[in-house]
Amino acid sequence: MTPKQIWANLGVENIERTKEFYLALGFKLNGHPTKELVSFFFGADEFVIHFFEKEKLKTSLEGELSDLSQGNEIMFTLSAGSKGEFDQWIEEIENAGGTVFFDSNKDRKAYYDENGFHVCVFADPDGHKFNLLYSNSM
């Protein structure tokens, strides 16, 4: 099997809030938002993430969605181009209403791990988690 393209579909409570969050972070809209869907391009190769109104996505899945307050469904990784950009994204995420998680072992939002990566985990307003990282070896 050789798919032509792959993209992600996630459920959200509020399409407008989701649109404003990702626009505030500088992501580019993919198409025109509707009351049931907003879609964005992520990264230089324009990976697409569709954010569907939860009830609409449940119908498509023919099943229930994950309760993100109880666990995680998936985590995407976003790479920053520089340490300055990494630090700026953390501030922009918080200003846009996202949640930046603290590393329980280090008691801070971002840390430098043993593999040479600056790492930070954050969630959008619906609880979808992302791993933000920067390494000067990338």
pLDDT tens, position by position, 34-79:
999 999 999 999 999 999 999 999 888 888 888 888 888 888 899 9
With pLDDT > 90 as the criterion, what percentage of the chain qualifies?
56
For the chain, how big is the Rg over CA atoms in Å? 16
Tell me the per-residue pLDDT of 50-62, one tens digit each, with 9 for 90 and over: 999 999 998 888 8
| Distance of alpha carbon 59 from alpha carbon 43, whole angstroms | 29
Class of domain 7-61: alpha beta
Say what the pLDDT of residue 38 is: 98
Say what the pLDDT of residue 103 is: 66
| 6-15, 39-48, 56-65, 82-91, range with the lowest pLDDT | 56-65
7-61 and 75-134 share one fold: yes
**Whole-number mean pLDDT of the chain?**
89
Q: Determine contact, residues 17/54, Cβ cutoff 8 Å.
A: no
Residues listed for the chain: 138
Domain extents for the chain?
Answer: 7-61, 75-134
Percent helix, strand and coil across the chain, each to the nearest 5: 20, 30, 45
Class of domain 75-134: alpha beta
Task: Give strand ranges (E) for 1-114.
Answer: 7-12, 28-29, 37-42, 47-53, 75-79, 99-100, 111-112
92-107 burial code (b ≥16 CB/10 A, e <16): ebeebebebeeeeeee
Is pLDDT at 106 greater than 80 in this prediction? Answer: no
Q: Say how far residue 5 (Cα) sits from the centre of its chain.
A: 19
